Amino acid sequence: MAPVGPPPRTPIKPRVKMRPFHWVKVPLNLLPPSFWNKIMPKGDLKLNEDKIEDLFAADATKVIKKKKKEQPKTLLDAKRGQNLGIFMSGFKIAVSELDRRLHHLPPHPDALPVEYIISLRKLAPTPEEYSSYKKYPGDKSQLSDIDQFLMRLMEIPNLKARLDLLLTVHEFPLQFEDLAPEIELTLNACKQLLKCPKFEDVLHYVLSIGNYVNGGTNKGACHGFQLKSLVKLADARGRDKKTTLLDFLVMTLREKQKQLLSVPAELDSVPKALEASVKGLSAEVEVLARDLLKIDRGAKKVKEALASPSAEQEEFFSHIDKFVATFEEKLVKLHADVKETETSYKDVLVKYGERPTTDSEEIFGY
């Protein structure tokens, strides 16, 4: 069988690898009527092999190694550097401005936002870092941007002490504003429990109902009950499995002394003070007193470290003095209120026959 298509051409093998020519060949079935068919017997023409190879030789294949980007040197571990980097990306204040802005308190427009103060306290240079940078033998200008940022923070005098002072000044009014109403509410709750004749009458009805249903048993003939017993009124169900002693109490009051049903309104501070603990309130006042003392002493310490305070710095310390004086006066009243609350709560425990160690959260909860 005769071969299909033109005879194969004599293969050519250049002496070097050549650049490819990306052509598209004429299909075999279209060759016979074409020009190509006429010149096919002539074969390939002789060429200047040196010239063509010189001009069209493929470039030597080079293994291109990606130059590893040289990382700037750093004295920080990865976690510390990452945290500082995150903070730096959102820090909108020039470090050169930071020293000045540490001398302003709210509502001054240049006062540092509290979130910056909190972050800077966490990220401020440690004693170990001060020592590491001081002893570093190399060119510090070649260290990373994060190291540069930390070194600039190191140049700010008494940075940590000043940040501590500012944070306490920021937080103190908020803590005071949370605590003062809580003490007032707890004191009102105690006063209501001490001076609510209607509640005493309701308890008398509860005692009478309890003694009646417990008659003839060792639970009967009771002279008084602890306030925790009140919650059990809703658990004691009658024969129909629906009506409780609490229901019966309400029915009795409606029938006998309807005015006693207003007791919840006259004890309205009690459920509001449910989260408060008289013991805890006293401890929180002591914490506030210590924090105020810390502010006073901290400001004096920072001022003593200054060789000659500027007018702006003097104004800052003047504001601190006024701040301390204002809250000292407020704390005197808060101390008096919490002492009155403690005394009133002890009277509540005595009045209702409760154990002296019973916490106010329990009593108000009942």
pLDDT at 88 over 60: yes
Say what the pLDDT of residue 48 is. 66
Please write the tens of the pLDDT for every residue from 136-175. Answer: 998 888 999 999 999 999 999 999 999 999 999 999 999 9
Among 50-64, 103-117, 234-248, 275-289, name the one with the lowest average pLDDT: 50-64
C-alpha span between 20 and 57 (Å, rounded): 9
Whether pTM exceeds 0.75: no
Say what the pLDDT of residue 28 is. 75
The pair of structure tokens assigned to 289 is 């007193």
Mean pLDDT confidence for 96-100: 90
Among 8-12, 64-68, 76-80, 206-210, name the one with the lowest average pLDDT: 64-68
Please write the tens of the pLDDT for every residue from 21-39. Answer: 666 676 778 768 765 677 6
Tokens 């009771």, located at residue: 222
Please write the tens of the pLDDT for every residue from 311-350. Answer: 999 999 999 999 999 999 999 999 999 999 999 999 988 9
C-alpha span between 179 and 282 (Å, rounded): 10
How many CB atoms neighbour CB 139 within 10 A? 8
Helices (H) and strands (E) in the chain, counts: 15, 0
* Burial bucket for residue 89 (CB in 10 Å: 0-12, 13-18, 19+): exposed
Mean pLDDT confidence for 190-205: 89
The pair of structure tokens assigned to 174 is 């908020």
Say what the pLDDT of residue 41 is. 80
C-alpha span between 34 and 26 (Å, rounded): 10
**Phi-psi label, residue 264: left if phi above 0, alpha if psi -120 to 50, beta otherwise:** alpha
Identify whether 127 is preceded by a cis peptide bond (ω within 30 of 0). no
Say what the pLDDT of residue 337 is. 94
Top-confidence residue, 30 or 307: 307
Mean pLDDT confidence for 184-211: 90
Distance of CA 271 to the CA centre of its chain: 30
Say what the pLDDT of residue 207 is. 87
- DSSP H helices, 91-126, are 95-101, 114-123
C-alpha span between 61 and 19 (Å, rounded): 12
